[in-house]
Amino acid sequence: MTLQKLLRYTRKAVDEYAMISKGDKIAVGISGGKDSLTLLYALHGLRRFYPERFELGAVTVDLGYSECDFRPVAKLAEELEIPYEIVKTDIAHILFEERKEKNPCALCAKMRKGALNQAVKKMGYNKVAYAHHKDDIVETMLLSLLFEGRFYSFSPKTYLDRMDLTVIRPMLFVEEAEVIGFKNKYKLPVVTSRCPIDGYTKRQYAKELVKSLNQEHPGAKQRMFTAILNGKIEGWPKRIPHKR
C-alpha cells in the first residue's frame, strides 16, 4: 500500500465520522507495532493538507518489558517532527508476576488504555487516536457474538465523558494486509511484542476464523464489515457519506 492510498482511506474515515475538528490536539497511541506506526504516518500526512488544522503528538505506554527498545520509534517521530513521549509503567510486572494472570488480555488492555488516556489528557491533548483497522473491527464483532452474545464492535469515534477525551480510529477502512504491505514498503521500525502469550489469545482465534471464513466464502470479511457499518450499533456516531 502506498502512502497516497493510506491517506485516502484515512481521509474517508475522518470525514465520514467527523473525527477531526479545527484546533484539535491529537495524540497517537504508539505501541511500536505496525498498526500504530502506520497510523502515525497517516495522520502526519493528513495534517499537511486537511482543511481543519490540528496538532499532532505521539505517546507510548511502556508496559515494562525490559527487551523493548523504543529508540527507533523516537527517531522516526523526530524525523516526522512529531512530539513523542514514553510513559513508563509496571503493567507487565503486575499481570505476570504479582497477579500471575493466565488470561491477562482484557485487564492488560484496560490498564494500558487507562494509562494512555490519563497521560494524553495530562499532556493537554483532547483526542487520542487508536490504530484499530478493518480486520480488528470484524474480529471484535465476532468475539462479541461468540463470547458475549451481542452484536458489537469498536466505534469509529467515542467520547469519554469522565475524562473529557475523544477516542478516534482513523484506520477504520484499512485492511491488515495493506498495513503489512505499508510496513514493508516504508521499512517501519516495528518494536516486536514481548508479551509471553502473544499469538495464543482469543483475538488470534478470531483472526484465524475470519481468514478461514473468507477463504471458504470469498468476500465474507467485507460483508461482515458492511453489516457492522450498517448495523446501527449502540454508541456509534452517524455516518456522513462523502462523495469525491
pLDDT digits (tens, 9 = 90+) for 155-190: 999 999 999 999 999 999 999 999 999 999 999 999
Amino acid at 22: K
Distance between CA atoms of residues 119 and 57, nearest Å: 12
| Residue 214 within any structural domain of the chain | no
Contact 224, 134 (CB under 8 A): no
Number of CB atoms found within 10 A of residue 166's CB: 20
Q: Which residues constitute the domain of residue 165?
A: 3-137+153-194
Provide the mean pLDDT of the chain: 92
| Residue 25 within any structural domain of the chain | yes
| Residue 148 within any structural domain of the chain | no
Q: Which residues contact 134 (CB under 8 A, 6 or more apart)?
A: 171, 172, 173, 174, 175, 176, 221, 225
| Residue 211 within any structural domain of the chain | no
Total number of domains in the chain: 1
Distance between CA atoms of residues 190 and 214, nearest Å: 28
The per-residue pLDDT for 207 is 94
Distance between CA atoms of residues 112 and 107, nearest Å: 8
| Residue 55 within any structural domain of the chain | yes
Q: What is the pTM of this model?
A: 0.92
| Residue 146 within any structural domain of the chain | no
| Residue 129 within any structural domain of the chain | yes
Q: What is the CATH number of the domain that holds 78?
A: 3.40.50.620
